[in-house]
Copies of this chain bind each other. A is one copy, B any other.
Amino acid sequence: MLPPALDKVATLLSRLPGVGKRSALRWAFHILAEPPAYAEALRTALGELLEHVHFCAQCHHLAETELCGICRDPARDTSLLCVVEGVPDLLALERTGSYRGRYHVLHGSLAPLKGVGPSQLRLDNLESRITQDGVREVIVATSADVEGEATALYLAKRLAATGVSVTRIATGIPMGGELEYLDDHTLSRAIAGRIRLGGP
Interface of A is mostly: helix
Tell me the complex Cα distance, A186–B164, Å: 66
A6 contacts B49, CB within 8 Å?
A: yes
CB distance from A23 to the nearest CB of B (A): 7
A116 at the binding interface (Cβ < 8 Å): no
User: Which residues on the B side are within 8 Å of A12 (C-beta)?
Assistant: 38, 41-42, 45
Chain A 32-66 near chain B by CB (<8 Å), digits 1 or 0:
11001011111101111111110100000010100
- What CA separation (Å) do A170 and B33 show in the bound complex? 28
Least Cβ distance of A178 to chain B in Å?
A: 25
CB-based contact A1/B41 at 8 Å: no
Identify which of B18, B26, B51 contacts A88 (C-beta below 8 A): B26
Cα-based distance from A42 to B41 in the complex (angstroms): 13
Q: How far is the CA of A31 from the CA of B16 in the complex (A)?
A: 8
A50/B45 in contact, CB under 8 A? no
On whether A5 and B107 interact (CB within 8 A), knowing A30-B16, A53-B32, the answer reads no
Residue numbers in B under 8 Å from A5 (CB-CB):
45, 48-49, 51-53
Further contacts, 18 of them, CB under 8 A, given A12-B42, A18-B23: A2-B62, A3-B52, A3-B53, A3-B62, A5-B52, A8-B45, A8-B49, A12-B41, A17-B27, A26-B88, A29-B87, A29-B88, A31-B46, A31-B49, A32-B55, A32-B62, A33-B107, A40-B50
Residues of A within 8 A of B (CB): 1-3, 5-6, 8-9, 12-13, 15-19, 23, 25-33, 36, 38-43, 45-53, 55, 62, 64, 86-88, 91, 94, 107
